[in-house]
């Protein structure tokens, strides 16, 4: 995971891509804010959507050379992300190579982040690193921004 950072600071993995209008193929949908019990294990469901007509490699692609989907998290002080559960990928076959099955995410999918927060308000800042493809080609990897305000009481 990563070190504590203020909300206005640039995260260590951020490049100017997120600043200059680079098109995202995956969008973080919600939640923007959650309440959890302080000092107790909780699960946050992070909802994402892949643009129609595209797929992204799952967290565990069948081919080792494919770029897996990852969640890179900067933990704020007082909050720990213990692990992130990814859904299993769906088998997908390209018309050009019907013998090869890919493990992908399409449409909406949910990651489950296991957290523990001290009393107070915390901002989880993260990025979903992924590579989007369509039926004929793959695009350069991207990082979709994720921000969740966690209120622990």
What does the H/E/C string look like for the chain? CCCCCCCCCCCCCCCHHHCCCCCCCEEEEECCEEEECCCCEEEEEEEEEECCCCEEECCCCCCCCCCCCEEEEECCCCEEEEEEECCCCEEEEECCEEEEEEEEECCEEEEEEEEEECCEEEEEEEEEEECEECCCCECCCEEEEEEEEEEEC
Both tokens of 85, joined, read 């559960």
| Tens-digit pLDDT profile for residues 91-124 | 998 777 778 889 999 999 999 999 999 999 999 9
Cis geometry, peptide bond prior to residue 31 (ω within 30 degrees of 0): yes
Q: Does the domain at residues 24-152 carry the CATH identifier 2.60.40.1250?
A: yes
What is the rounded CA–CA span in Å between residue 126 and residue 74? 6
Residue with tokens 């490699």: 57
| Tens-digit pLDDT profile for residues 41-66 | 999 999 999 999 999 999 999 988 89
pLDDT bucket at 23, cuts 50 / 70 / 90: confident
Instruction: Give the pLDDT of residue 94.
Output: 79
Domain boundaries, the chain: 24-152
């Amino acid at each position: 995971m990563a070190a504590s950072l203020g909300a206005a600071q640039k995260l260590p993995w951020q490049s100017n891509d997120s600043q200059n209008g680079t098109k995202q193929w995956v969008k973080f949908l919600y939640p923007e804010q959650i309440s959890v019990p302080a000092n107790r294990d909780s699960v946050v469901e992070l909802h994402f959507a892949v643009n129609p007509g595209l797929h992204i490699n799952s967290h565990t692609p069948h081919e080792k050379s494919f770029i897996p989907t990852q969640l890179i998290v900067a933990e704020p002080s007082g909050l720990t992300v213990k692990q992130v559960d990814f859904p299993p990928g769906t088998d997908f076959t390209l018309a050009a190579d019907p013998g090869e099955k890919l493990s992908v995410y399409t449409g909406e999918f949910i990651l489950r982040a296991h957290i523990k927060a001290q009393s107070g308000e915390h901002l989880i800042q993260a990025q979903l690193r992924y590579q989007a493809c369509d039926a004929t080609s793959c695009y350069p990897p991207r990082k979709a921004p994720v921000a969740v305000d966690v209120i622990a009481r």
